[in-house]
Structure formats: structure tokens, C-alpha cells
Amino acid sequence: MLEIVLATRNRDKVKEIKKLLEGLKIKILSADDFPYLPEVEENGRTLRENAIKKAREAAEFTGKIALADDSGLEVEALNGAPGVCSARFAGENCIYSDNNRKLLRLMKKVPGTKRQATFKCVMALVWPEGKIKTVTGICRGIIAQESRGKHGFGYDPVFIVPCYGKTFAELRLDIKNKTSHRAKALAKIRRVLKQLA
């Protein structure tokens, strides 16, 4: 059976990705299955650079095909910030709620008509011999006035999906898994993995 390594220790991401790849004839491993897999410094200038870097290091270390993603929230009123720095928006070692509080504070005086944002996810599949395949998933939305909902992770409580009028954190998981940026990128990766399997 084909084995794929998810180049992340983020358990929320691992859980979500495994759910979205269910049904494929592949075995999904994560970075936690390789305790000595080195941490990767995400210092790329783009989401694509970071995704490739993480997947490449995992593929070289494990000798298996590796899958990595880098996701970012781009807010129009903040000139595209936090973007590639989304995970560390409130500083090193910050947690999800720190990032959300900072974002809402910066957006406090921005009117509802100017709160557009885009969630982007770039996924990279890298083979041990160096072959690379990348895909992108995009979801457009609006930044909420306050955190709403108890589901999801990251910026989910502050990102409203317009067609539902709810944040990702308020939506049922099955709906989020059809509409999110990561779901759209994984749908493309799924087609590639289905051929490989």
C-alpha cells in the first residue's frame, strides 16, 4: 500500500487532512511517526515556497512521498496581511486566539463593506527523488466583527463564508470540508493520489 507522510505535527491539520483523504487506498503517516524528523523553519516568501520546503525535507528524511501545506489569510484592508505570516501573526509561540484577537483589533474601525478576505492553501506533494506537484485552494469571505463558533481551528472563528452567513467555526464539519481552502486544495491532491494508489 502506498504510504504518504504528512509533513506536519499540527494535530488539527492531520485530523482534517486524513478526513478529507478517506477512502483512498493509501496509508497516511504524520511527522509524529518520525520523532527525529527535523523541524522546518518556514522562512519562505510565499505559501508555495514553505509548502515545498516542508514536503521536500520530509520526503528526503523518510524516503517516502510527502505532503505539506501552507495556508494563509489575506485581508484586503490590511494589504494582504497576515498572509504568509498567518500562523505567527501575533508573534512567535502565539496560539490561535492570540492571532484572532490581533486581527480583530486591527480591523476594529474597518466597515463591513471593506472586510473582504481570502483564505489560501497551497499543497505540495514531493517525491524522494525530487519530483514536485503543487495545487492551490482558495475561499473568499469576510472578516467577522467578533469571534463566533466553537468548531475548527486557526482563523475559523473570524472568517465568514458569505453564502452561509456563518464563520467556519459555526459551520458543520461536513459543510466546511466542502467549501474551505484546504478542502479545495485536497480535492485536487486526492485526484493525484488516486492515480498513484
Per-residue pLDDT of 126-151, as tens digits, reads: 999 999 999 999 999 999 999 999 98
Buried (b) or exposed (e) across 68-78, using 16+ Cβ within 10 A?
Answer: bbbbbbbbebb
- Give 84-118 as a DSSP string: GGGGGTT-TT--HHHHHHHHHHHTTT--GGG-EEE
For the record, the C-alpha cell of 30 comes out as: 504524520
Q: Which of 32, 70, 98, 174 is catalytic?
A: 70
For residue 197, pLDDT beyond 80: no
* Mean pLDDT estimate for the chain: 93
Count of structural domains, the chain = 1
Q: What pLDDT score was predicted for residue 41?
A: 84
Total Cβ atoms within 10 A of residue 44: 16
How far separated are the first and last CA of the chain, in Å rounded? 7
| Residues 160-184, mean pLDDT to the nearest whole number | 93
Q: What pLDDT score was predicted for residue 66?
A: 97
Residue 1's pLDDT band (boundaries 50, 70, 90)?
A: confident
12 is catalytic: no
For residue 182, what is the domain's CATH number? Answer: 3.90.950.10
For residue 195, pLDDT beyond 90: no
For residue 62, pLDDT beyond 90: yes
Compute and round to an integer the Cα radius of gyration of the chain: 17
Domain of 145? 2-196
Predicted structure pTM score? 0.89
CA 158 to chain centre: 15
